[in-house]
Structure 1
Amino acid sequence: MKDVYITRISKFLPNRPVDNDLMEKILGIINGKASKARRIVLRNNQIKTRYYAVDDEGQVTHNNAQLTKEVIELLCDEEFTTKDIELLSCGTSSPDQILPSHASMVHGFLKNRNMEINSVSGACCSGMNALKYGYLSVMTGQVANAVCAGSERTSSWMKADVFENEVEYLKELEDSPILAFNKEFLRWMLSDGSGAVLLQPEPKGETPLKIEWMEGYSYAHEMETCMYAGGDKLPDGHLKPWSEYPAEVWGKKSLFAMKQDTRLLGDNILVKGVDSLKLAYEKNNITPDDVDYYLPHISSYYFKQGLYDEMKNQGIEMPWEKWFLNLQKVGNVGAASIYVMLEELVNSGKLKKGDRILLHVPESARFSYTYAYLTVC
């Protein structure tokens, strides 16, 4: 088995930063009234700016595959070109279409060469699982290099017109035309962007990072769905897919909007996260003392103190001085968040040889968690 190193890293955040006052203008106002939920969500998540792949008039500037193509081209130069890539592994929770796969569409935009591709579906963990596929492929010698990416383009899923049919339907029923909080919750948290890394079996580049190990855990066997799109959650917890609804109902129920069961989220995301973190620590025989930089992907600063407290309660407290976050500046970029966070740390000038980095990515879709442990070479 070969050692595997992150030898290059890049990020692509489209257009200019969007502040809290501008976001509703870009995404659109639903039913002609400013959102009341927006203030509540923003107060809790503490996000100040985020990025949208739409312009100030709401016109799309990039689709998801184009965001990924852009970040991969930023990863490359004359020394390592897109034609040198042997494996392309991409993860996202917001593909542009059901078929073809996301990685296939990215490959189409790159127009580089015949190569292996891998598409990972899911939510935030999809970016890490794309990384793990590349990591294992390079480690086993299947390929000499791999480019792994995480990306999201959720802004178009959150635009007002996605919800207009539902609002009109509620009016017809003489019901209050206000969206349920679980549909508005994510609208004020999510951001667009992409991140990518190059994996190679030698420690090249200015700040190569050796991947020591990666771990993943799922609690879907005991937890019902929490975050979802393309279906509707029934009172008994069952997720009914869009394909089992008549086409005329799709818009009336905003079936293709992302939704979050906030009750399930608050009750379980931190407890399961720390439980899985303990499993990763025990399996790899490390403790918080063996971590110099802790990069947790959190969707909201509302969970920051709670995560710290839960780690303390379970006996694996992570000192605050080891935490590295950038949520306030870039928003929740889902599968790309951990790439964007790591890119900022690598380019911060803080890292020195021997530093150890722990990546911690939760996914609330049905409660999955992925981890990576890196050493600066």
Structure 2
Amino acid sequence: MKRKRRSSSGASLDSLLDTMTNVVGILVIMLTVTQLGVGEAVDRIKETLPEITDEDMERSKKQVQELDSLLDLEKEQLQTVKELTQQKKVVNIDEQKKMAEKLQKELQKLKEIQINIEALKKQIAERDVKVKTLEKTIVTKETELAEIKAKLAKTPDPGPTPNAKIVNLPNPRDAPKEAKAVEYICRNGRVLRVDIPLLQALALKAIAQSRLVTAQEQAVDCDKLVKLFENRNVGNRDWRIKLKPAGGVPYLILEPREGRGDTSERLRKSSALFRQDLQRINPRLFYLNFRVWSDSYDSYLVAREYADQRGVLAGWSALDSNSEFRVSLGGNLKLTCSGYVPPPAQPKAAEPDLPPPTERKLPGTKID
């Protein structure tokens, strides 16, 4: 069949096309006007904004980087806080307060400390001078010591001295149990035995005969007692007894008589009194106690030689040449000098033994 031809008598589309054309034209005009307005607005915004340089851009980038770093740090701290919170770690506020108070006190102390810097500098300078002086002195002494050593190295050994004496060093040890001492004095180059109890008895007898003392304990006129022993020849054939007050108390001074005792030469003879006494001494019951003055070491060494040969133990103490041989009164007589008042802390001293200050004391019952 043949297609039917469209009839030309239908509605026309021209008016629709005209309308659409007008609408498009209006839209184009509006778009153009809008673009022009936007361009002007952009120009106005650019005019109000400051000009941005490359340096500003770099600075902004750095600030952005720093902000990123701070943000990362804050994130780490936040994470740490979260972890502490998860682990239930609670901060003790009271302890923190106490720590803060303690720190404040220490800070206050530091503020109160005042250091004189100038004084410290001065002290350091003075010490530096002293140190330098000592260093110079040390160098000088070391130099002198080196010179002396060099001289000694070149000096030939002279050998033993012709008059040298061999002395055995003492070996202190306890005396035999319940052994009694036999007293000897080495003085004026002689060795002399001394019986102290006997001489004390002779002195007490002389005091009793003088009738200056009427009681065992009383204050006496010590000057009269001194004159009594000066005027009377109290003692025996070996010893002269004198009296002398010391510290408000009278004491006996024992002085060997002229020519009494054995010299070092006489000790070499069998007839010497010391060697005869040794023959009568029992080594198990007695030991020798020597008091040696500085002028009689030779006599003492000879006497010790014979004591060692006999097997009698001995001890000794050294005294200066100016030392006195002083002993107490002994017995039951307790005297003080008239007018003497003892110290309050020492109401009643018991017969003290007052050796001279230069005496080198050894243990009382030690022997060597």
- Which interval holds the TM-score relative to the shorter structure? under 0.3
| Pair member with larger Rg | 2
TM-score (norm. length: structure 1): 0.22
Point out the structure with the larger strand share: 1
Instruction: Please report the TM-score for the alignment, with normalisation by the length of structure 2.
Output: 0.23
